[in-house]
A and B are shown apart, each in its own frame.
Chain A
Amino acid sequence: MRTPIAYFLLLSAVLFTIGTVGVLVRRNALVIFMSIELQLNAVNLSLIAFSRHLGQVDGQVLAFFSMVVAAAEVVVGLAIIVSIFRRRVSANVDDVNLLRW
């Protein structure tokens, strides 16, 4: 028997929420970044699940694009982290708080 689509969607939601919590509670910029990757993956999962549900490959194509964008984003994001680290010798996002009153 095929797994019902809803299962995948619920798992996707759970993974996404785990990623969200990670973003919110961790302070290491790298770990936060990984959590964001987890969120992206969760969304990819739901996209592919819907693609399967609707019998169209468009969802998979979208997931594919999402992966490409994620790759680009990781490259730039990591470069930013490295850049900040060079300047402040810290990967703690709470240390980067100049943008305030």
Chain B
Amino acid sequence: MIDQIWLVPALPLGGAVALLVAGRRLRGVAGGLASLTVGLSFVVGLLILRDLLALPAESREVTRTLFDWIAVGALRAPVELRVDPLSLVMVLTVTGVGFLIHVYSMEYLHGDPRYPRYFAYLNLFVAAMLTLVLANNFVLLYVGWEGVGLCSYLLIAFWFERKAAADAGKKAFIVTRIGDTAMLLGIFLIFSTFGSVRFDDVFGAAGGLAPATATAISLLLLGGAVGKSAQLPLHTWLPDAMEGPTPVSALIHAATMVTAGVYLVVRAAPIFEASPVALGVVAVVGVVTALYAGLSAIGQDDLKRVLAYSTISQIGYMFLAAGVGAYAVAIFHLVAHAFFKALLFLTAGNVSHATDGEMNMMRLGGLAPRMPRTTAFFAVGALALAGIPIFAGFFSKDQILAAAYAGGFVLWLVGLIAVGLTGFYIARAFFLTFAGRPRHQAHPHEPPPLMNIPVLLLGVGTVAGGLLGLSAETGTIHGFLELGEAGHARGGLSELWLGVIATGVAVAGLALGWRVYISGRVDWQALRERYVALRRALARGLYVDDVYGRFVVLPAKATSAFSAFVVDQRVIDGAVNGLGRVFAGLARAGRRVQTGLVRSYAVAYLLGAVIVLLVVLGRT
């Protein structure tokens, strides 16, 4: 079955092509077709997993070359797919979660005028992500990388009639493009250093890399990862991306886009390993982002924006794990996060579905009696996110913190603070949305079954996902991935104590949220009034976007205006128009020759004859 690996990206791609070409005719079955292709990809992935497990552990790395793509000089970039535990875990996560989101979308987007196109984009999105994770060279990976970026633009701006959505789409595209440029430079550097872009050649030679070169390549690749994964300082697009349909947010956050950065760092681990500086940067970026996004999430009033900052924060954890060398843990958290974040987004989609798109928590509240199932599933997702035992998020986060503790006390401490913040903001979001008295006029209702089934399955995954990796040493997924060991635990607290502390902090965060927002002992609305400046700062993500606007966008706009209205209109157009005017003048003078009088022409003719004769005479 491994030989059929090409089916995995080809199925969604085929679905996307079919829907783009004949979407109008396939309108009725568009959702079903799109879901089917992704579902089949998942099945193929499972069959390949079975075959791969049948192989001995050390030979679980199979590549299949489909065809030559770019072969210029020394550059060889074939379309070559790589099946190994890491790519297969990504494939299963992407297709599995992606399939559930497809199914959910069938109901959520029902009746949308661009229903087939939505599924075409969704399929293309999955296909691009699968290309990204299956690629066996950096150039093909970049194709998937850009395909993901394109689809994120198309889907975030799917309701482009709304200016906010169109702007958010552009922002996502442009901001990630900054990272992509860095990544492209990194790929150039890889080619000029190793003379190849194939993973086998590059990673095989990565050990003997000069530290400076390794750092340069790593940081450039990290730039791409930071942009795609919405880490500081290129995170600003993700909160705005909430303008897209909610299932799209789920797909972006859980499976297809933001995880690409983590995957890249883990995949390029041999290069990062060669540069301690780069690894340190990865860890610091991760932990600072986790803290920053946790803080910002507290200030959000929009349920989906809370979840968006939550994603940024959780991806920060994954970077932290990768930065301290715990790659398997990072991927484990990626998988666990895919489950509970998709769950949270789909339940948030239920809320949106039930309240005619109302996502402002200030105008929600008291939904629990009307939507008990949605409330329960959101609670499951929230507990997993907070890292409460038995849920998948507990195990993965616990292992990350343990690895961070081994990597440095400050990393651990900051990560721990972020855990507390996580508990607090998700408790706030839960209580403000589902508990208390209703602050709205709508009559919420549970969604139809087609939307409930994916939620149910994700809920099961969220609860049971922890079984995949009970501990960093013995976990199933860790053993399967074989991505090297995390740093050895240093002296001090044992892993058990670390887990107890982390859980305690998470519970404390949840309890604080409960106390502030539901117990009635604190008047949180009065707090909002009193600390208005702080609230505003948090709500605006500590003004990072505003700083960019002031110092990047405004100068850029001024430069464009100068170039457009002064350089182009005056100088270039002036030159062109001036030239035109010169010729127009010449023509105006020259056309006087054309009198229309035959006899004038005859004189000119005679003149010519005389001159010709003169020349002939002069010759002889």
A97 contacts across to B, CB distance below 8 A: 595-598
Interface size, A (range): 10 to 19
Task: Provide the B344-358 mask, 1 if CB < 8 A to any CB of A, else 0.
Answer: 000000000000000
A100 to B606, CA, bound (A): 20
Q: Choose one: A24, A94, A98, A99; the contact of B606 (CB below 8 Å).
A: A24
Q: In the complex the two chains form, what is the Cα distance from A65 to B554 in whole Å?
A: 84
Determine if B603 is an interface residue (Cβ-Cβ < 8 Å).
yes
Contacts of B591 in A (CB 8 A): 101
Verify B599–A100 contact, CB threshold 8 A.
Answer: no
Are A24 and B596 in contact, CB atoms less than 8 angstroms apart? no
Complex contact A24–B594 (CB within 8 A): no
**B597 & A94 in contact (Cβ 8 Å cutoff):** yes
- B599 x A94 contact (CB < 8 A): yes
Give, as a whole number of angstroms, the nearest-CB distance from B486 to chain A: 87
The answer to whether B594 and A100 touch across the interface, beta carbons within 8 angstroms, is yes
Q: Are B595 and A24 in contact (CB under 8 A)?
A: no
For the complex, give the distance between the alpha carbons of A93 and B594 in Å.
15
Residues of A within 8 A of B596 (CB): 97-101
Chain A residues near B603 (CB-CB < 8 A): 24
Q: How far is the CB of B500 from chain A (nearest CB, A)?
A: 97
- In the complex the two chains form, is B606's CB within 8 Å of A20's CB? yes
Q: Is A96 an interface residue (CB 8 A)?
A: yes
B602 an interface residue at 8 Å Cβ cutoff? yes
Chain A residue numbers with a CB within 8 Å of B594 are 99-101
Indicate if A53 sits at the interface (CB-CB under 8 A). no
Question: Which residue of chain A has the shortest Cβ distance to B591 in the bound complex?
Answer: A101
Knowing A20-B606, A24-B603, A24-B606 are in contact, say whether A93-B595 is a contact too (CB < 8 A).
no
Which residues of the partner chain A approach B602 to less than 8 Å between Cβ atoms? 23-24
Interface contact A96-B599, CB-CB below 8 Å: no
Chain A positions within 8 Å of B606 at CB level: 20, 24
Nearest Cβ distance between residue B584 and chain A, in whole angstroms?
13
Q: How large is the interface on B (under 10, 10 to 19, 20 to 34, 35 or more residues)?
A: 10 to 19
Across the interface, do A96 and B595 meet the contact criterion of CB distance under 8 Å?
no
In the complex formed, the residue of B with least CB distance to A98 is B596
List B6-25 residues whose CB lies under 8 Å from chain A: none
From 1 to 25 in chain A, residues with beta carbon under 8 angstroms from any chain B beta carbon are: 20, 23-25
B575-615 toward A: CB 8 Å interface, digit per residue (1/0)?
A: 00000000000000001101111110011001000000000
Q: How far is the CA of A23 from the CA of B591 in the complex (A)?
A: 24
A21 to B599 Cα, complex, angstroms: 11
A27 close to B (CB within 8 Å): yes
Q: How far is the CB of A28 from chain B (nearest CB, A)?
A: 12
**Which chain B residues lie closer than 8 Å to A27 at the CB level?**
599
Minimum C-beta distance from B620 to chain A (A): 16
Task: List residues 74-101 of chain A with CB under 8 A from any CB of chain B.
Answer: 93-94, 96-101
Nearest B residue to A27 via CB reads B599
> What distance in Å separates the Cβ of B610 from its nearest Cβ neighbour in chain A?
10
Proximity bits, A26-48, B CB within 8 Å = 1, else 0: 01000000000000000000000
Question: How many Å lie between the Cα of A97 and that of B599 in the bound state?
Answer: 10
Which of A20, A93, A101 contacts B598, CB < 8 Å? A93
Chain B residues, Cβ within 8 Å of A96: 598
**Minimum CB distance partner of A97 in chain B:** B596
Residue of B nearest to A96 (CB): B598
Minimum CB–CB distance for A84 against chain B, Å: 12
Query: Please, how many angstroms separate the alpha-carbon atoms of A97 and B594 in the complex?
Result: 10
Residues of B within 8 A of A94 (CB): 597, 599
Distance (Å) between the CB of B488 and the closest chain A CB?
93
Q: A24 CA to B605 CA in the complex, in Å?
A: 11
Query: Which residues from chain A contact B592 at a C-beta distance below 8 Å?
Result: 101
Query: Which A-B residue pairs are the 7 nearest by beta carbons?
Result: A100-B596, A97-B596, A101-B591, A100-B594, A99-B596, A93-B598, A101-B594
Task: Contacts A24-B599, A93-B598, A98-B596 known; list 14 others, CB within 8 Å.
Answer: A20-B606, A23-B602, A24-B603, A93-B597, A93-B599, A94-B599, A96-B598, A97-B597, A97-B598, A99-B594, A99-B596, A100-B594, A101-B591, A101-B592
A-B residue pairs in contact (CB < 8 Å), sample of 11? A20-B606, A25-B599, A93-B597, A93-B599, A94-B599, A97-B597, A100-B594, A100-B595, A100-B596, A101-B591, A101-B594
> Which residues of A are interface residues toward B (Cβ below 8 A)?
20, 23-25, 27, 93-94, 96-101
Q: Give chain B's interface residues, CB within 8 Å of chain A.
A: 591-592, 594-599, 602-603, 606
